[in-house]
Structure 1
Amino acid sequence: MVGNSTNVRLEMEVCNLDAVFIELQSAIQKSNRLLQLKLKKEFLKRRSVIYLIAIFLNQGITMQDLALLMQVDKGTITKTIKSLCAAGVIKKLQDEKDKRIWHLYSADNLDEFYLEINSQYNQIFSSLFNNYSEEKIELLKSYITRITNNINTLKSLH
């Protein structure tokens, strides 16, 4: 019977972790959707804002490096970049030495839009953490950092 008790406890812990993961995913999706609604930009698809920020902060990043940074496959990057180029918010320039490589830059008009994104993010996240002390926020950050480090460790094992 001791073995069954341990198995039940482990299953409950896994269920609790699943619930935490689901809640975390839901919170991220809802906050991204809220940001999209606040910005009222029709070209913003799922996760587009994150790509825009990454490109804005890493001018000239290659599509391959962006895929690594965002931890997505080449097809996802290609599709997202195509829609952002069509919307006129990023520029794609071919490498002079290696024609297979494309560098990504924010469009000239993106500076103001980035400030708007940053402002909206700050408003949303300050509202999300309105009733939390600085200690609780720092604790949450440390948990998320540890989770990310654990994920990176698991990825390096495969």
Structure 2
Amino acid sequence: MNKESLGKYISAIYRNSQSIINKKLEGYDIGSGQYDFLYVISTNEGISQKELSNILKIGKATTAKAVKSLMKSGYVKRERDEKDKRFYKLYLTEKGKEIVPKIESSFKFMIGVFSEGFSDEEYENILQSLKEILDTVHRVNNELHNE
């Protein structure tokens, strides 16, 4: 088995893809990585911050910080949950809804970049392997933090 670090490549892919998307979304008041939050909220209107964290497999503190920033920028609004007043639901503002097509376009562009040189089957296999790695790393991380 090759002992070369997978993390090194994943990290480099992430940094470079963030740089490309940032360039494509230049001129909008949106920080690196925040478009993931906007996209998930757009496809899950009324989602809670906890659900958002779970979908993105990101810690609650990171999600809270991103949501706060997106609210400050006018992309997201919070409304108290009618069923349980302790919780808030997240929605896009009109400004948030306007940027979603640009985010989707950037994501589609990146899928083209990622899949370049691979057959559809090869690309699907890579995605499946990465999902399995993420699930394992996420599970181990949760286990270590909940000991």
* TM-score, scaled relative to structure 2: 0.82
Question: 1:146 maps to which residue?
Answer: 132
Q: In structure 2, what is the equivalent of residue 105 of structure 1? A: 91
Letter in 2 for 1:137: Y
The 2-side partners of 1:145 and 1:68 are apart by: 14
* Number of residue pairs the alignment of both structures matches: 144
1:28 aligned to 2:14?
A: yes
Distance 1:96 1:145 in 2: 35
The aligned counterpart of 2:60 is 74
Question: In proportion to residue count, which structure has more helix?
Answer: 1
Contact 2:57 2:138 (8 Å CA) reproduced: no
1:34-69 per-residue CA deviation (whole Å, 9 max, x = no partner) reads 101111145322320111111111110111222232
Q: Which moved more, 1:147-156 or 1:25-34?
A: 147-156
> Match of 1:96?
82
* Matched-pair contact (CA < 8 Å) for 2:76–2:91: yes
Counterpart contact for 1:35–1:120, Cα < 8 Å? yes
Q: Are the equivalent residues in 2 in contact too, given 1:61–1:105 (CA < 8 A)?
A: yes
Larger radius of gyration: 1
Separation of aligned partners in 2, 1:105 and 1:22: 35
Tell me the percent identity.
23
TM-score norm. by structure 1 comes to 0.77
- Structure 2: gaps spanning 5 or more residues: none
| Separation in 1, partners of 2:46, 2:32 | 23
| Most deviating of 47-56 and 59-68 | 59-68
Query: In 2, Cα distance between the equivalents of 1:145 and 1:77?
Result: 20
Unaligned runs of 5+ in 1: 1-11
The 3 A distance-change label for structure 1 pair 79 and 122 is same
Contact between 1:43 and 1:83, CA under 8 Å: does it hold in 2? no
- Mapped to 2, the partners of 1:95 and 1:27 lie a distance apart of 38
Contact 2:74 2:96 in 1 (8 A): no
Aligned equivalents of 2:143, 2:106: Cα separation in 1: 38
Distance in 1 (alpha carbons) for counterparts of 2:48 and 2:30: 21
The Cα shift of 1:157 comes to 5.7
